[in-house]
Chains A and B, each alone.
Chain A
Amino acid sequence: MKLIDTIGRALRFDEPDGRFELLETERGEPSFFHGRKRSPAPETPDTRPVPKSLRESRRRLETAFSAEVNRDLILRDFRFCGSVNALAVFLNGMADGAEISDFILKQAMARSLPRGGKGLADYALREVFSLQEAEKTDRWAQVEGAVLEGRTAVLLEGEREAILLDTRGYACRGVGTAQNESTVIGPAEAFHENLRISVTLLRRIVRRADFVCEFRDVGSKNNVKLCLCYLDGICNEGLLQEVKKRLDGVKTDLLLSAGTLGQQIEDRPWSPAPQTLLTERPDRAAAAVMAGKAVILVEGSPQALILPVTLSGLLLTAEDGYLRRPAGSILRFVRLFGAAVSVLMPAYFLALAYHHQGLLSSDILSTVVSSRKLVFLPMGAEMIFLLLVFQLVREAGVRVPGAVGQTVGIIGGLILGQAAVSANFVSTVALIIVALTGLGNFVIPNYDLQIAVGCYRVALCLLALSGGLLGLSCGIMAALVLLCDQKSFGVPFLSPYAPKTVAREPLFFRGGITGQGTAQDDVNGEAAL
């Protein structure tokens, strides 16, 4: 009987079989190429005022926060100064309960109402609540936003204004050390997920009255808090306007980190080269601020976003400035050499080995030939395979936590490499070249740039494989043209070299430390050199 039912149900189109199915809503049909065509719901800003009636306020809050099921929302009724009905609203866990008890409820209940009783909100703000950060508002949207941030909103019966009190007190970790941008010399502390702590870390270094930390909300509904930091009067006004315009244009709901924000506001999303610099070091962000750049800190992200950025800026480390000039210059030169080796070496080797054997001396050629005697893979496939294995080892090392990650790197690098050579899977020469390439790649201080270099490396390898040195030269030229054409917030990516600008930090040698803090020429700061 059950079987007949099942067969019958399968043959009918009108009745569901009772299994759960996530049905499409009527939000639009998928387009042919570009995913779903959405008809975005029009967003109307909430311009409602704070209601006079406490009951209406409660109703609005319960509706907005789904209070029936959402037990995080605390609606605490009390009598303000013993005579006025009042409501304290906060999110459990986001707000500090002790602060609410000691500085809001206890203070409000202990007093009696003065004569007159008009301007209650003002009175409460001035004489009752003894919290350091407090403000009043007549806009309902601000009340909801404040509660979401962990602040406490106090609503008074008959008052058109609500009082917002800073009681944020959620749990967070302490200030940690920089993990990805570690240096031998210099400060070790890193930015924090808590926006306030991050701003403080920055303020501790930039102790200037004109250092502005502008707090803003971005995103359509999620309202992520961020802080735009710059030196007023030093940072170019046009740059600031452009940054603010782009931040206003961010419409995504999911903004989890500074990296996501960077992708939302950059010029060319498809370019492999990064157009903003992510750093976890407050000293580096402070140096950028002093140089006339803008820094964005995002709530919940332990990194700062520096913009605009140039290629030479991406190749700098915080340590360059801490070392003496000759040592800093040598390190920088080594880094540039490593980056060049990382991009060019495999492709150059492939071009020579495949198309221009005559260019190699007989000694080198005989070494290459003897190392490949029993290797069965073609040289191009061998090189691409090894580059892929290198990326695998690296990715595994990064994803596996702590000491195990290092072990994976060692196993991958030594044992796998040795085994591959013994098994005649790859030649020793190719292995050496990929190892050097990997070392060069790790010398590049910026993670985004390391990945970008990997993209260019593979593209150049393929071009060298197909066209030898001609393919390689054309590939390099094409890459350079695209980099020349790229701008980060209006600043040419290859400045200060092309176009030439007056730079405190030349490309190859470290500049002097005198005059640091003056805005750089390439960012057209108001106090440029």
Chain B
Amino acid sequence: MNLRLGRFGKQESACAVGLAALVSGVFSVNVGDTFARGNLCYAATAAGVLLSLLLLHLLDRAMVRLGARELADLLSGGLRFLALPLALGLVLSAVLPLFRFTLAMERYIYVEADYVPVVLYLLPVLFIMVLCGMECIARMGKLLLIPAALALALTLLLASPAFAVHHLFPLFSPGFPAFLEQTGSALLRFLAPGLALFAVGKGCQGRKNTLGGVDRGLLLGGAGAALLHLGLGLTFFGPDMASMTAPVYCMTMAARQERLGLRLDVLVLFLWVAAGLVAAAFYLYAAALLLCRTMGVEDLRPVGALLTLLCMGLVLLFNFDSDAVLSAVRHIYRRGYLLLALPALLLWGRSLLHRRRP
């Protein structure tokens, strides 16, 4: 047995979830579609967090009903196949922010570099983190919470001279259907961290701690993401953002100025990248553990390594300039949440058919 789960406490689990929620909430947004008709993302993000929390609490009820200690325990009795969409959803949740970071670095920082070398720098770190296991990832989450909070604060601070309330108007211009659609797609961003923690629940020293970690992490990370989206809304008009590769980076450049003799925008981006790597490792480890548990594999390393390679392969693939890839990416952004939400609902529904365990 070499699953490298380890044990981690309330703070570490909340930090891992919070970091993942913050990174996904900010960087897993399909910029082109979301902002084309105006900006409702800050509201949709908040709604997405609440909806995700509701779904995760339902899943927790299901776990109580069936006496399950982690997500894999729920996947029994003919529902094991659900591990595949769940794992795929988690892998995609890891891919999306990494894809955005890589694009941002290639377009704004390493202007003369190719896309592939940038990806190759991220790969070994991701490998090490996934193979070191969840205990290590949770501790990294705890360590990087302050840098991530600093990145959030600096991003808002650097952009604050460019804030203007009129950028938010006309309020609710995309309309209610767009709001619902964006809330749905926000589910992929905020369900994934919670489900990932449920997947590694046995290391979290009890179901209560797991749920506490999910609640605190999602609320903190979701609030941070919503705040940043509000900051984006105050900085740019929605349609202006639709053509940007990384609006958050552009936001720090909006009121470009030197602080302490240094430009801080690039430093802030690298703080985000560090947080993104931890979030991606968290998702990948959770996906690998879910697959290992359901398939009865006792060594996580091969599965973890394969998923890491798959993740980085997808990050490379997403950059291909072909219609098929672009269309697939757009579908993932729009409907990817179904990979996580439907199995979660199905598992909850199945649990209703069972009697509560004494």
Q: Interface on A for B, CB 8 Å cutoff?
A: 355-356, 358-361, 363-364, 467-474, 476-478, 480-482, 484-485, 492, 494, 497-500
Contact indicator A494/B139 (Cβ below 8 Å):
yes
Known contacts A356-B266, A498-B139; is A482 also within 8 Å of B128 by CB?
yes
Partner of A467, one of B121, B128, B142, B258: B121
Contact indicator A477/B142 (Cβ below 8 Å):
no
Closest to A352 in B: B262
Q: In the complex, what distance in Å separates the CA atom of A314 from the CA atom of B118? A: 35
Q: In the complex, what distance in Å separates the CA atom of A321 from the CA atom of B136? A: 31
Interface presence of B12 (CB below 8 A):
yes
Q: In the complex, what distance in Å separates the CA atom of A203 from the CA atom of B117? A: 60
Interface presence of B105 (CB below 8 A):
yes
Interface presence of B110 (CB below 8 A):
yes
Closest to A492 in B: B139
Partner of B266, one of A467, A469, A477: A469
Can you name 19 extra interface pairs (CB under 8 A) apart from A477-B129, A477-B278, A498-B12?
A: A355-B110, A358-B263, A359-B262, A359-B266, A361-B258, A470-B118, A470-B121, A471-B121, A473-B273, A474-B121, A478-B128, A480-B143, A482-B132, A484-B135, A484-B143, A485-B135, A498-B143, A499-B12, A500-B9
> Looking at chain A's contact residues, is the secondary structure mostly helix, strand, loop, or mixed?
helix
Partner of B140, one of A360, A473, A481: A481
Q: How many residues of chain B are within 8 Å of chain A by beta carbon? A: 34
Contact indicator B261/A481 (Cβ below 8 Å):
no
Contacts of B129 in A (CB 8 A): 477, 481
What are 10 of the A-B contact pairs (CB < 8 Å)?
Answer: A358-B263, A469-B109, A473-B274, A474-B125, A477-B278, A484-B139, A485-B133, A485-B136, A492-B139, A498-B142
Contact indicator B142/A480 (Cβ below 8 Å):
no
Contact indicator A469/B270 (Cβ below 8 Å):
yes
Partner of B142, one of A473, A481, A500: A500
Contacts of B212 in A (CB 8 A): none
Contact indicator A469/B267 (Cβ below 8 Å):
yes
Q: How far is the CB of B293 from chain A (nearest CB, A)?
A: 22
Contacts of B121 in A (CB 8 A): 467, 470-471, 474
Q: How far is the CB of B269 from chain A (nearest CB, A)?
A: 9
Contacts of A469 in B (CB 8 A): 109, 266-267, 270
Partner of A499, one of B11, B109, B110: B11
Known contacts A359-B262, A363-B261, A492-B139; is A470 also within 8 Å of B270 by CB?
yes
Contacts of B138 in A (CB 8 A): 499
Partner of B274, one of A361, A477, A497: A477
Contact indicator B273/A484 (Cβ below 8 Å):
no
Contacts of B277 in A (CB 8 A): 474, 477
Partner of B136, one of A358, A359, A472, A481: A481
Contacts of B270 in A (CB 8 A): 469-470, 472-473
Contacts of B9 in A (CB 8 A): 499-500
Known contacts A356-B109, A469-B270; is A481 also within 8 Å of B132 by CB?
yes
Contacts of B274 in A (CB 8 A): 473, 476-477
Contact indicator B142/A499 (Cβ below 8 Å):
yes
Contacts of B122 in A (CB 8 A): 474
Contact indicator A474/B124 (Cβ below 8 Å):
yes
Q: In the complex, what distance in Å separates the CA atom of A499 from the CA atom of B135? A: 9
Q: In the complex, what distance in Å separates the CA atom of A182 from the CA atom of B267? A: 39
Q: In the complex, what distance in Å separates the CA atom of A360 from the CA atom of B267? A: 12
Closest to A501 in B: B9
Contacts of B118 in A (CB 8 A): 470
Closest to A475 in B: B125
Q: In the complex, what distance in Å separates the CA atom of A364 from the CA atom of B270? A: 21
Closest to B4 in A: A485
